Structure 1
Amino acid sequence: MTISKQHIIIAIVSIQLFFIGCIGFANEIKVATIDEFNSAIQSVKAGDRIILKNGEWKDVKLVIKGQGSSENPIIIEAEESGKVFITGDSNLKIAGTHIVVKGLWFKNGYTSGKSVISFRINSKEFANHSRLTDCAITYYNPNSKATDYKWISVWGKNNRVDHNYFAGKANSGTTLVVWLKGEKHINNNHRIDHNYFGERPALGFNGGETIRIGTSKNSLLSSRTIVEDNVFEKCNGEVEIISNKSCDNVYRNNLFLESEGVLTLRHGNKCLIESNVFIGNQKSNTGGIRIINAGHVVRNNLMMNLTGDGFRGPIVVMNGVPNSPANRYHQVKDVKILNNTIINCSPIQFCAGSDEERSLPPINTVFANNLIFNDKNGDIATVHDKLDGFNFYGNILDSEKGFNQSGFSKVKVDWGTLENILYIPKTSNEELIKKSKPENKSPKLDITGAKRNTFVAGAYNLGNNKLPKALVLKSGTSWDSKVKPQKTIVEPEIIEVEPGVGTLRKALKKASFGSILNLKSGEYILEKGIKVSTSVTIQGNSTDKKTLLKVKEGLEKNPTYFFRVEGGNTLRLNNIEISGELSVPIKYAVVSPNKDISDTYSVFIDNCHIHGFKNKKGGSVYKAYKGTFADTVSIVNSRIENAYRGINLSEEKDDNGKYNAQVVHIDNTIFKDIDQWAVNYYRGGTDESTLGGKLLIDNSVFSNIGNTEKGTVIRNKGIVSVNIKNSVFEKSYKVVNPVNLKGNKNSISNCVIFDCGTVKITKGASAKDVMYKNPKWEDKNNFIPSEKSPLLKTQRIGLKWEAKK
């Protein structure tokens, strides 16, 4: 069952915000310009209210400093909430005590500073007992995703961030950070509540957290921050939606909806995580809670339809590093994981990350009275190391599969449903009562706040007919701060293009979003490279002969590329031929945006013939520049040949976990006569914050690729997920290892290797049904197998000719 915001009543609606009671104000000052604001703030005192007039405030630096009191705060607010737009290069800084900022909307801009909103002016002037409420920051991004700044930086003590809306952060830097740098910022008792954290796209490297509390360096200090009653929807920046890096924090009654990551107790001790709801709706990579360090209590949480594996599991208990430095993994110990309900999720991960470095399994860790339901024949848990340090008891499994460990009982639970959303155990479940065993940290209330008169496993009392607070809370602003895309459906514009010199480039200038450029049979001559600044499809319309794109002979300076895809756009190339052949070959057929562009893009190539890109000065058929990130690079039903290099996604050499594309998909495609590699897909370093890339290769042929002693066919260093199947690797006589797979998410299956070395498999990678045999082609150029070919003996290996036709 898919759960929407309508089901769980979390749409951003008008709400009654409570404010500190005031019996009148000393002054109420309306300001219309930054100069008027600066003048008013110079003499502001307790009880004063400064009102920013409606309209656009562009390129402003709002610095708020004053001394209010609990009875008479200083209030800086919009004339009407949501109608004061802070744009351009702008930011806001707060210092003093008892200051309230209300109703501002940061949009259509960026900041050249370290934060959009900061609870300090400098290292000596910061805010205490202050509040940011009913504000929004949306899509407030720089041009380069590598530019690092935070949206909210919380300093000082006793500050509150509540009833705000944050969405669309695409550049490096955490959305909201609580800082503990110095004595005046620890034991801070901040409160982050009733905020709506909207969509954050995958960043592609570390630094895409939505909330971080503390840093590795000060992670053993106490923050005592409370994070409650917030919504996190599609927060996909990296594996850590929330990164806890301090002690004694509380995370409760939060909703995580279709977010590709987990609440991570990365560093720090003694945190409480209770009554949160994690709903994946079967979206890929959605997860729950990851546990590291000591003394945490994780209880009364609900996980539903989460699919993430590895570090994105519903509950992940990590292995530690002996004598761990501050920035690695302290051993899990004295942790209690109690009364959680897990419904149709991917496996729980015990001792995750176990390797030569992370060699310390958890100790003195209780996993008790958890209720696990799975009617999808899914595994209950994955065990990566010894479980001697766990104390399992009172756990209930209602599933087809069991878990071979004492402390888990298979029980057929009598379930009811609540509002067709939730599975709730009915009152008739006597077995749950008999097999549950409370202990000193067991919750006294259930996930809805109802008293546990009868103790049972899971997050709910039997027969409870209330929704958890996380599903009924009203988060976000009192005004409609959501940026709504237009839902008008527009039929794609069809643009007919005639062959000739420059005709394609001229036609693209007329194209709008979604346009389809139909290229008639003939030759299309380019005099310069084409920048694709909107999402378009370029397709040949001939069925018997592909439309040819080439560069004009005799130019004073040849273009570097045929197509450059600008950020935020998608280029689709269908049924065309692209030739890079000249006396000095063209370097690239397609390139990414220029380096360090924040917007993602995608490239889809279908039924194309691309050849002649033999430029030995770094040339390749496809090139991604440093600091760019493609959502998808897809090549299907195509032929790539006679080139220096194939697909180049290897510019991120800093070894800090960055990579150039989330998904690379190759299907039913020929790579032939390529001097170096067919694919170079690189991710360096050991950073674990992202999905780490995905390479999918199916029914393809790689012939005479990288034919040198140190050559290779597929380079995939550091890519987390690699799946190669039904493919042929041949005639790379000098290559030792055409494919080198590392890690348990790397696999090769049902493939033929001939005169092409051997596949190398390490660190849990798998190879199945790999045959070292002659493929026996009937047609060696088109790779059609003969009747005696081993490619026809089992599941089809090699090209799917019916698709190519």
Structure 2
Amino acid sequence: MQRRTFLSGTVLGAAFAALPASALTATTAAAAAPKAPVTSVDALQKAIDQAAPGDRIVVADGTYTISGKSAIKVTGKNGTTSAPITIVAASRGGVVLRGERSFVFSKSTNIVISGFAFRQSSTLEIPADCSRIRLTRNDFQFADITKLSWVLVRGDDVKIDRNRFHHKTTAGLFIVVDGPGADAMAQRLQVVKNHFSDHSFTGDNGGESIRIGFSGRALSAAHATVEHNLFERCSGDPEAISVKSSNNIIRYNTIRDSRGGIVLRHGNGSTVEGNYLLGGREGLRVYGNDHVLVNNYVSGLSGNALVIGSGSTRDHHEGETEKQRRGNDACDRAVIAHNTLVDNKKGALAGESRTYEPRNVVIADNLLVGKAGQLVAMDKTTGFTWRSNILWGAASNGNIPTGGFTRVDPRLRRESDGVYRLSAGSPAIGAATLKSPVVTEDIDGHQRGSRRDIGADEYATTAPVRRPLTKADVGPDAA
């Protein structure tokens, strides 16, 4: 597929210009005269309307205001997986888009939007009739309008990566994921290496950084993956990442100094793995069935590290009323293993007291350390399995059953990144007993081997492959 580039002044163009005219064939002459960057909204729209698979449209740096109800329309444009249509700012953040709307997508696939600074006052939507749309290396700071959500995903196979979402003081979400119809979910969303920061809305609901689904879509599988993202001062809601659908993966994220935590609020069969929650308020909270929470590190929170939720219903099911579906679904058959919960003010593991107690949850090979209060404060439970957990610190054991733990000093050492890891001779080394599910790596990316250690960290003398994320790891300039 021939790739056309709407850009002038390239090194290749200069090289061709140095050749004698007789050396240029018709083909090389065409290649030597790429189009200049577009410099107006009208020129951009014309370039999009004419775009073919593999084309790269470059927008000259500057501020562009889309007037009134107008928009930059991407309609009926279809790149391919190997040759997408790319619309890119001449320099990252150098093109500022103002006005009510920017890009409006319809019936399009394999489109890449890169390098823009979005400053619009309405939602940027990827509708259900579009797929494989990528938003990459952009800066999002929409008008600070209450209940305005910034990016809405309804289409399949969308990728949102290496962007910055920042500075909102009102209700509304940075990213919300829905789907077609009343109960379906957009499929296979990827949210990767983004930087979310500074959402300061003080209400108790409606200010999540990411929400995947909502109550009416709880039983629908989304297969979304949220990984390697950094959240800082994300305090618009107690849920920074709110999962309200089924079969999702939330892994390798870092949440710092935020009111919001990671909450499996609705849905079943999701995995929460290898996340750092540091120095904020809310930790992990889980409702629904058949979830797996492994290798998470939760430290320095003013709230509970991990809440195993009770329910206003045993299980959500088809035919519920809207009010019933909004209720909490008791946590059943979860596996909570190889987590490290250290120095959280309200304790490590906590329960709730709704009508339906959690059932048949496995809590194994976790490391619980605290200075005050109770390490385990569960309400009523049924059929829980407790095994091979280590408890330590001035905090009391709480109501963890005898035989489900050992009270022994795990010999933690605090390293340069602020994380407590095992030191040589720790009784946690080789002491894990849970056989299934198989947890092959630790939070650092080290292999666990056949003799696994208790907690999120597998003792190693080599440097971690993964650490808590910093601003250098995410956002528009990330690798």
What's the counterpart of residue 351 of structure 1? 351
Aligned residues of 2:195 and 2:229 also touching (Cα < 8 A)? yes
SS at match of 2:144: coil
1:468 Cα shift? 6.1
Q: Deviations over 1:70-91 (max 9, x none)?
A: 1211011111111111123333
What's the counterpart of residue 387 of structure 2? 393
Aligned residues of 2:3 and 2:55 also touching (Cα < 8 A)? no
Aligned residues of 2:417 and 2:467 also touching (Cα < 8 A)? no
1:37 to 40, 44, 64: 44
Q: Does residue 365 in structure 1 map to residue 376 in structure 2?
A: no
SS at match of 2:48: helix
SS at match of 2:397: coil
Tell me which amino acid in the other structure corresponds to 2:52.
K
What's the counterpart of residue 198 of structure 1? 197
2:302 to 307, 320, 341: 307
What's the counterpart of residue 210 of structure 2? 211
Matches within 5 A, 1:257-272: 257-272=256-271
Tell me which amino acid in the other structure corresponds to 2:393.
S
Q: Does residue 426 in structure 1 map to residue 423 in structure 2?
A: yes
Distance 1:51 1:27, change over 3 A: closer
CA distance in 2, matches of 1:267, 1:410: 34
Aligned residues of 1:156 and 1:185 also touching (Cα < 8 A)? no
1:155 Cα shift? 2.0
Q: Does residue 64 in structure 1 map to residue 63 in structure 2?
A: no
CA distance in 1, matches of 2:430, 2:81: 51
1:348 Cα shift? 3.1
Distance 1:468 1:277, change over 3 A: farther
CA distance in 2, matches of 1:388, 1:36: 65
Higher relative CO (CA 8 A, sep ≥ 6), structure 1 or 2? Answer: 2
1:52 Cα shift? 1.6
CA distance in 1, matches of 2:97, 2:183: 30
CA distance in 1, matches of 2:103, 2:360: 46
1:38 Cα shift? 2.1
Q: Deviations over 1:240-264 (max 9, x none)?
A: 1111011110000000001102111
Aligned residues of 1:26 and 1:46 also touching (Cα < 8 A)? no
CA distance in 1, matches of 2:65, 2:265: 38
CA distance in 2, matches of 1:303, 1:23: 50
What's the counterpart of residue 133 of structure 1? 136
Q: Deviations over 1:263-291 (max 9, x none)?
A: 110101000000000111xx5xx121110
In the alignment, structure 1 segments of 5+ residues that lack a partner are 1-21, 480-805
SS at match of 1:295: coil
Aligned residues of 1:179 and 1:213 also touching (Cα < 8 A)? yes
SS at match of 1:51: strand
What's the counterpart of residue 796 of structure 1? none
Aligned residues of 2:349 and 2:375 also touching (Cα < 8 A)? no
1:34 Cα shift? 1.7
CA distance in 2, matches of 1:52, 1:226: 31
Tell me which amino acid in the other structure corresponds to 1:24.
R
Distance 1:344 1:395, change over 3 A: same
Matches within 5 A, 1:466-481: 466-467=463-464, 469-472=466-469, 474-478=473-477
What's the counterpart of residue 55 of structure 2? 48
Aligned residues of 1:157 and 1:185 also touching (Cα < 8 A)? no
Aligned residues of 1:254 and 1:470 also touching (Cα < 8 A)? no
1:215 Cα shift? 1.4
CA distance in 1, matches of 2:357, 2:338: 22
CA distance in 2, matches of 1:26, 1:80: 15
Q: Does residue 289 in structure 1 map to residue 284 in structure 2?
A: yes
Aligned residues of 1:149 and 1:174 also touching (Cα < 8 A)? yes
SS at match of 1:149: coil
SS at match of 1:35: helix
Task: Give the root-mean-square deviation of aligned CA atoms.
Answer: 2.2
Q: Tell me how many residue pairs correspond in the alignment.
A: 430
What's the counterpart of residue 92 of structure 1? 103
CA distance in 1, matches of 2:382, 2:224: 33
Aligned residues of 2:142 and 2:150 also touching (Cα < 8 A)? no
CA distance in 2, matches of 1:79, 1:463: 45
Q: Does residue 403 in structure 1 map to residue 398 in structure 2?
A: yes
CA distance in 2, matches of 1:167, 1:69: 32
1:33 Cα shift? 1.7
Tell me which amino acid in the other structure corresponds to 2:51.
V
1:23 Cα shift? 7.1
1:292 Cα shift? 0.3
Task: Decide which structure has greater strand share.
Answer: 1
Q: Percent of counterpart pairs with the same letter?
A: 27
What's the counterpart of residue 25 of structure 1? 4
Q: TM-score, normalised by structure 2?
A: 0.85
1:40 Cα shift? 2.1
1:181 Cα shift? 2.7
1:101 to 101, 113, 117: 113
CA distance in 1, matches of 2:165, 2:57: 24
2:308 to 309, 312, 317: 317
1:119 Cα shift? 1.2
1:171 Cα shift? 2.7
Matches within 5 A, 1:209-288: 209-280=208-279, 283=280, 286-288=281-283
Tell me which amino acid in the other structure corresponds to 1:290.
R
Q: TM-score, normalised by structure 1?
A: 0.51
Q: Does residue 446 in structure 1 map to residue 437 in structure 2?
A: no
1:451 Cα shift? 1.1
CA distance in 2, matches of 1:264, 1:97: 32
1:377 Cα shift? 3.1
Aligned residues of 1:276 and 1:470 also touching (Cα < 8 A)? no
Tell me which amino acid in the other structure corresponds to 1:419.
S
SS at match of 1:39: helix
Distance 1:393 1:149, change over 3 A: same
CA distance in 1, matches of 2:136, 2:417: 34
CA distance in 2, matches of 1:181, 1:290: 28
